[in-house]
């Protein structure tokens, strides 16, 4: 166990807390995303389509009261969907930020106690923010003194404030480091160039670039077309329902197809970039993964395969349907497995480090 | 710490703080009202349709479309600022592995920071005036700067590994 690497991973240090917390938040966020995709996403989409169809039937019958009731139910379905997507995104993003903060700890000139306190706050904030978002749909406005903000939103917003305060604190520490060249009291990260680190960094940059190019393509050729099409479909749906003509079912189906097309294209773009970032971040963690070289490489390959399979097959859902959806979920699972394998390696490393320092004492 | 690394790490953290502050402000003061207006206008369109008032129904659909246009871009700005900030910090930490001249690296870092700031700014300015060419041009310029900088860094990284 090289001493210079061990020195960068001291027991109960801010860096160790941020790396553990970060990987756990990312794995938790991805697991939640996979569960959401398998058990909630498609069912929610189907219910939304049925509800919209019921609304067009109410329009055809001239029943304005029924329309209002149906839309209250539709609002609930959309909130259910939106808060779950947001919980997934915010948990994984907080994990990414935690690992990023671990990277810059050598340049943060604050006392170890303060750095650890900030790290603890950040990981707690990163956990409570998605929990608060998830609860918004279930808690609603119960016992809330505000007109449109419930207690779950207050929890989420408070956790967001904690994250901002920590980031400002870290920026202050960086500023002190640069201004006074004060020692941050922590050695810089190891800079070895192993196969795993290069594969993760190179693969990560390629994934991010692909995500950018696809996002630019989507913004240039699809975004405005989708927006115009949505308004057009809604007007057609309403005109036909109000005139008592047929074709509302087709219009509702068109609306569903458009929503699905938009969702998979945005998901492909965001997942390519997020997995690219994840791969780049994990390249820095590799010196702390205590596994044999073969197993370290296996987890890297599993993670990179999952990172490309998920976005590609999410896109193919438009053509191949649920088969592609299943393969995409499998891709997500591969990323979680690779990530968990690395986390086990980091846990083994910290365990043996602590055991060695205990034996020395 | 090289000037390119300083720019990427400091710029990245500042951008992350900006993105989070914007997200917090948006969540507390704007999002709920926007979602209410979006849902309300769509419901209104169907209610007017049920009452047989087609012109009002169409107008409500237009209000819904316009509100959603703003909503999509407002949420995009929050996520893109934070996402680009994270990318900048990671790249700042990995600059040792990029085989490019120091001066070029500083220019690339400056371009990446400018692009990361300007691209979402162009997106949010599209809500001030829907379909504004200048705002779209700003977003395209910003995303172009980010993509080119990233491609150059990737090239530098590949050169260093070979």
Confidence grade of residue A247 (pLDDT, cut at 50, 70, 90): confident
Residue ending a domain, choose from A191, A212, A237: A191
Question: Do residues A204 and A276 lie in contact, with contact meaning Cβ atoms separated by under 8 Å?
Answer: yes
Kindly compute the dihedral angle of the four CA atoms of residues B124, B130, B136, B138, in this order, to the nearest 10 degrees: -50
Contacts 24+ apart (CB under 8 A), A323-329: A325/A37, A325/A42, A328/A37, A329/A34, A329/A37, A329/A38
Which chain A residue has the Cα nearest residue B96?
A191
Q: Where a domain ends, among A164, A191, A218?
A: A191
Do residues A63 and A110 both lie within one domain?
yes
Q: List CB contacts (< 8 A) between A132 and chain B.
A: none
For residue B5, give Cα distances in angstroms to A104, A161, A169, B106, B154.
11, 27, 19, 8, 16
Note whether A136 and A6 are same-domain residues. Answer: yes
In this predicted model, what pLDDT tens digit does every residue of A249-286 receive, in sequence order? 888 889 889 988 998 999 999 999 999 999 998 998 88
Q: Give pLDDT tens digits for A23-75.
A: 899 989 988 988 888 888 878 888 888 998 899 999 888 888 998 899 888 88
Among residues B141, B90, B151, B153, the alpha carbon closest in space to that of B116 is found at: B141
Q: Which two tokens stand for residue A309?
A: 């399979």
Look at B65 and A231 and tell me if their CB atoms are within 8 Å: yes
Q: In terms of residue numbers, what domain contains A264?
A: 193-361
**Is the Cβ pair A157, B50 closer than 8 Å?**
no
Q: Helix crossing, A64-104 with B54-93: angle to 10°?
A: 10
CA angle A64/A67/A71 to nearest 5° reads 145
Distance of CA A165 to the CA centre of its chain: 21
**A347 in the same domain as A239:** yes
Give the distance, in angstroms, between the CA of residue B63 and the centroid of all CA atoms in the same chain.
Answer: 24
Give the pLDDT band (50/70/90) at residue A184.
low
- What confidence tens digit (pLDDT) does each residue in B54-74 have? 899 999 999 999 999 999 999
Number of domains in chain A: 2
Q: What is the DSSP letter of B97?
A: G
What pLDDT was estimated at residue B140? 93
Residues A245 and A360 in one domain: yes
The residue of chain B with its CA nearest to that of A212 is B147
Task: Report residue B145 as tokens.
Answer: 């700067």
Distance, in Å, from the CA atom of A324 to the CA atom of A313, rounded to the nearest integer, reads 5
Same domain, A303 and A283: yes
pLDDT classification of B106: cutoffs 50, 70, 90: very high
Q: Smallest CA–CA separation between B106 and chain A, in Å?
A: 17
Contact indicator for A170, B13 with CB cutoff of 8 Å: yes
- Do A184 and A228 fall within a single domain? no
**Interchain proximity A148–B17, CB inside 8 Å:** no
C-beta of residue A157 within 8 angstroms of C-beta of residue A184? no
Give yes or no: residues A30 and A178 share one domain: yes
The mean-pLDDT minimum among A4-18, A82-96, A338-352, B94-108 falls in A4-18
Q: Which of residues 152-211 of A touch B (CB under 8 A)?
A: 153, 156-157, 160-161, 163-164, 167-168, 170-171, 174, 178, 189, 191, 193, 198, 201-202, 205-206, 208-209
State whether A94 and A206 are in the same domain.
no
> What's the rounded mean pLDDT across residues A195-224?
91
Task: Report DSSP letters for A265-297, one per residue.
Answer: HHHHHHHHHHHHHHHHHHHHHGGG--S-HHHHH
Q: Does residue A120 share a domain with residue A168?
A: yes
3-state secondary structure of A187: coil
In whole angstroms, what is the distance from residue B105 CA to residue B109 CA? Answer: 6
Distance between CA atoms of residues B162 and B160, nearest Å: 6
A22: its two tokens: 């970060």
Is the pLDDT at A220 greater than 80, yes or no? yes
Residues A27 and A57 grouped into a single domain: yes
For residues A152 and A69, membership in a common domain is answered with: yes
Interface contact B143-A178, CB threshold 8 A: no
The answer, for A225 touching chain B at a CB cutoff of 8 Å, is: no
Tokens representing A63? 């029943």
- Boundary (domain end) residue, out of A135, A168, A191: A191
The pLDDT of residue B96 is: 72
pTM above 0.90, yes or no: no
Cβ of A235 within 8 Å of Cβ of B161? The answer is: no
Residue B137, both tokens:
């041009």
Indicate whether A7 and A68 sit together in one domain: yes
């Amino acid at each position: 166990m090289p001493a210079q690497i061990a020195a960068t991973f001291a027991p109960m240090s801010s860096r160790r807390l941020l790396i553990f917390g970060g990987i756990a938040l990312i794995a938790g966020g991805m697991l939640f995303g996979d569960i959401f995709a398998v058990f909630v996403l498609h069912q929610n989409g189907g219910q939304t389509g049925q509800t919209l169809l019921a609304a067009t039937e109410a329009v055809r019958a001239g029943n304005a009261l029924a329309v209002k009731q149906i839309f209250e139910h539709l609002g609930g379905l959309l909130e259910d969907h939106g808060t779950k997507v947001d919980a997934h995104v915010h948990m994984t993003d907080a994990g990414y930020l935690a690992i990023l903060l671990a990277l810059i700890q050598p340049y943060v000139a604050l006392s170890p106690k303060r750095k650890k306190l900030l790290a603890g706050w950040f990981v707690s904030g990163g956990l409570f923010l998605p929990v608060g978002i998830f609860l918004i749909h279930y808690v609603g406005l119960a016992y809330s003194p505000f007109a449109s903000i419930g207690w779950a939103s207050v929890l989420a917003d408070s956790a967001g404030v904690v994250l901002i305060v920590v980031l400002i604190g870290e920026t202050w520490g960086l500023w002190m480091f640069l201004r006074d060249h004060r020692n941050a009291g922590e050695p810089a990260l190891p800079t070895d160039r192993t196969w795993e680190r290069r594969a993760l960094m190179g693969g990560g940059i390629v994934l991010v670039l692909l995500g950018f190019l696809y996002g630019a393509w989507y913004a240039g050729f699809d975004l405005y077309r989708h927006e115009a099409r949505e308004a057009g479909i809604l007007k057609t749906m309403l005109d036909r329902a109000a005139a008592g003509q047929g074709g509302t079912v087709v219009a509702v189906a068109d609306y569903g197809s458009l929503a699905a097309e938009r969702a998979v294209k945005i998901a492909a773009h965001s997942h390519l970039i997020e997995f690219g970032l994840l791969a780049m971040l994990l390249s820095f963690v590799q010196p702390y993964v205590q596994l044999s070289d073969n197993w370290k490489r296996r987890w890297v390959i599993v993670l990179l395969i999952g990172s490309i399979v998920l976005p590609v097959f999410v896109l193919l859902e438009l053509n191949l349907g649920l088969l592609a959806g299943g393969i995409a979920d499998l891709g997500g699972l591969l990323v979680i497995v690779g990530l968990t394998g690395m986390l086990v390696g980091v846990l083994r490393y910290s365990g043996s480090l602590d055991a060695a320092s205990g034996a020395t004492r | 710490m090289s000037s390119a690394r300083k720019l990427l790490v400091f710029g990245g953290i500042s951008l992350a703080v900006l993105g989070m502050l914007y997200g917090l402000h948006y969540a507390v003061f704007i999002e709920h009202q926007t979602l209410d207006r979006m849902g309300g206008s769509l419901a209104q369109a169907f209610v007017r349709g049920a009452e047989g008032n087609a012109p009002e129904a169409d107008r409500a659909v237009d209000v819904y479309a316009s509100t959603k246009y703003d909503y999509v871009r407002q949420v995009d700005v929050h996520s893109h600022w934070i996402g680009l900030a994270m990318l900048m910090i990671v790249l700042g930490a990995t600059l040792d592995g990029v085989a490019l001249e120091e001066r070029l690296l500083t220019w690339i870092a400056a371009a990446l920071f400018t692009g990361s700031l300007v691209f979402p700014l162009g997106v949010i300015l599209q809500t001030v005036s829907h379909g504004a060419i200048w705002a779209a041009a700003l977003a395209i310029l910003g995303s172009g700067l980010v993509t080119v900088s990233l491609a150059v860094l990737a090239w530098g990284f590949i050169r260093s590994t070979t």
